[in-house]
């Protein structure tokens, strides 16, 4: 995903269920993640790619304890 307006629109759909925690599978370089973090909700991300995990750790330190480094089945 590259279009930031689409990412923001997708993130805004979670407002329908404000009490549910969020799980993003395959956040990659965090195009969607950056908008999900603004929702003020519990967010976990599942990412297998080592470079993407390092990018997430470096750019979003608040996710450190919420990154699942594994394949998601």
pTM of the model: 0.90
Residue 73 lies in a domain: no
Domain count along the chain? 1
Domain that holds residue 24: 4-68
The 10s digit of each residue's pLDDT in 8-66 is 999 999 999 999 999 999 999 999 999 999 999 999 999 999 999 999 999 999 999 99
Beta strands in the chain (DSSP E): 22-25, 43-46, 67-68
Residue 43 lies in a domain: yes
Residue 60 lies in a domain: yes
| Six token digits for residue 40 | 């003020």
Residue 26 belongs to domain with CATH number: 3.40.50.150
Residue 11 lies in a domain: yes
Residue 35 lies in a domain: yes
CA dihedral sign, ordered 49, 31, 62, 26: negative
Residue 12 lies in a domain: yes
Residue 64 lies in a domain: yes
CA torsion angle for 14, 18, 24, 29 (degrees, to 10)? 70
Q: What is the CA radius of gyration of the chain?
A: 12
């Amino acid at each position: 995903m590259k279009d930031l307006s689409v990412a923001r629109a997708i993130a805004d759909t979670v407002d329908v269920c404000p009490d549910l925690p969020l799980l993003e599978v395959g956040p990659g370089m965090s195009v969607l993640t950056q908008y999900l973090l603004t929702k003020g909700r519990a967010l976990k991300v599942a990412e297998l790619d080592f470079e993407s995990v390092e990018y997430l750790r470096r750019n979003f330190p608040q996710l450190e304890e919420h990154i699942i480094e594994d394949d998601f089945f």
